[in-house]
Chains A and B, each alone.
Chain A
Amino acid sequence: AQKITQTQPGMFVQEKEAVTLDCTYDTSDPSYGLFWYKQPSSGEMIFLIYQGSYDQQNATEGRYSLNFQKARKSANLVISASQLGDSAMYFCAMREGRDSSYKLIFGSGTRLLVRP
């Protein structure tokens, strides 16, 4: 079974508007972490934001915020005031607390294109 599901292969957003990228996850581990990474065409994965399963508040980092709905097992990324440089692939990832490797399990990604 897929542990991380990103159902939007591609998304468009107008510059300066907000956009939400969806991510649902599946785990039986009560302790886990959720990550979002950005991958521009250059290939490097850039860490954006982290949400721990026990965190009481939704994570925010500048223009990025994570809409964490634990009961629905969703961790959607919200990008406010989109910029042209936000055009990239975005990956949601999870690590499970019981896995001491802390390896990341990635979704298949969403390609975001910001229109001027």
Chain B
Amino acid sequence: DTGVSQDPRHKITKRGQNVTFRCDPISEHNRLYWYRQTLGQGPEFLTYFQNEAQLEKSRLLSDRFSAERPKGSFSTLEIQRTEQGDSAMYLCASSLIGVSSHHEQYFGPGTRLTVT
């Protein structure tokens, strides 16, 4: 399968613990995005990478959140000192920025985080 993959699919953690999610984009894609989706809402942008450079962070991304994309391949999203409000689906998407594409983003299956 050559789509976007995410690991784990589900994570249950206790308040105050740290969690880390991984995203593997489509291999030739140069952009990688993270979104958060809460129940009954559409996804909201968190941050994105162009190759290994993190170019924008949403104000939703508090200082407890950090994301990396070493070597421009997979990405990790870490949440420190989790809070119950962090419970959500975390979606990763990738796209290929080029001259002739629509720049459509292809999404992974998401990681559902539950903070108890």
Contacts and interface: CB of A to CB of B under 8 A. Distances in A.
Interface in A36-85: 37, 42-47, 50, 52
A50 B105 CA distance: 11
Contacts of A108: 40-42
Interface residues of A, number: 24
A104 B48 contact: no
B112 interface: yes
Interface of A: 4, 33, 35, 37, 42-47, 50, 52, 91, 93, 95, 101-109
Contacts, number: 60
B97 interface: yes
Give the bracket for the number of chain B residues in contact with chain A: 20 to 34
B110 interface: yes
* Interface secondary structure of B, over-half rule: strand
B31 interface: yes
A47 B3 CA distance: 12
Contacts of A93: 42
B31 to A, nearest CB: 7
Contacts of B91: 43, 45
A45 B93 contact: yes
